[in-house]
Homo-oligomer: A and B are copies of this chain.
């Protein structure tokens, strides 16, 4: 169960950082969907390391190959399998990690759970696993596009640099204009500077990603345990380094009163909507037709390019200083991953909702 995401539109992933390949199988792809390979590759390129001075210097070509489920350019309704062969690994960079545990990384828990681990490049716990999610998300986006649903994420905080405006006040088309993926272009420049500084220090820094889905029809999500925001929260928290999730007014709303944050309905033009959107587009776990928006907290990456005390496999004191090529900040590359998980979740909820009536 642990490597499959979704109920009807389902992505199963595999792959370790320094194994032969990473990839996955997408089941439940709507039959007849045109598979726009250029778009999928372009999404993957957004996640790719080595895009700028503030991401890891690893140069991963990462070309996706589809192995099944497509005929004459259209999805046949059978599973789409895809893979990205691993190349350019420097496994030796990780030799030291074979017998010691990086603080706050998955090294220790994997070893304790499974009895041993593939330590090279972080093995299965590597962020390289998210590559498969971006492919799955890109396929979902193609279907969502036909349904008039869009999903856009952006970096809204790095360290203590916080975007002060709401998503409505921003021009989201500027998100891709800078390396940080922040539509507030001036702040983006400061964020870049901060990340560069952190990198120079051999350190890392966290941040927040905000995501907005527009065009979601009323009715997606299920009562009790399939609430749309619980599905979204589960999706986001499954991304490496994500420590928190909130939607609508989130944690900020707990200090307020019901009379301040209830969204009043209005029936203008024969269509029911709300005057405000503190609910974040979801009421009772079901989409209400307004924009869905949420925020994800990402911690500073655990792997530091500086010395840290730790223990070895036997619990003896040791020291570790990562070599190799690591991101100082996960945010820029996590933006397309957040979008991908959101897209798959929304498509899955859409398909589930088709079964509400005969």
Contacts and interface: CB of A to CB of B under 8 A. Distances in A.
A301 B314 CA distance: 51
A154 interface: no
A195 to B, nearest CB: 11
A114 B356 contact: yes
Interface stretch (A45-53, A176-184, A220-228): A220-228
Interface residues of A, number: 157
B354 A310 contact: no
A32 B264 contact: no
A23 B67 contact: yes
Interface stretch (A36-44, A56-64, A271-279): A271-279
Given A67-B15, A262-B302, A5 B351 contact: no
Contact of A261 (B157, B223, B299): B299
Contact of A76 (B118, B302, B308): B118
24 contacts: A2-B225, A3-B225, A4-B4, A5-B224, A76-B118, A77-B114, A78-B123, A103-B263, A104-B261, A104-B279, A113-B286, A113-B356, A125-B284, A203-B258, A204-B257, A204-B258, A243-B248, A244-B245, A246-B251, A250-B297, A254-B297, A254-B299, A256-B300, A267-B315
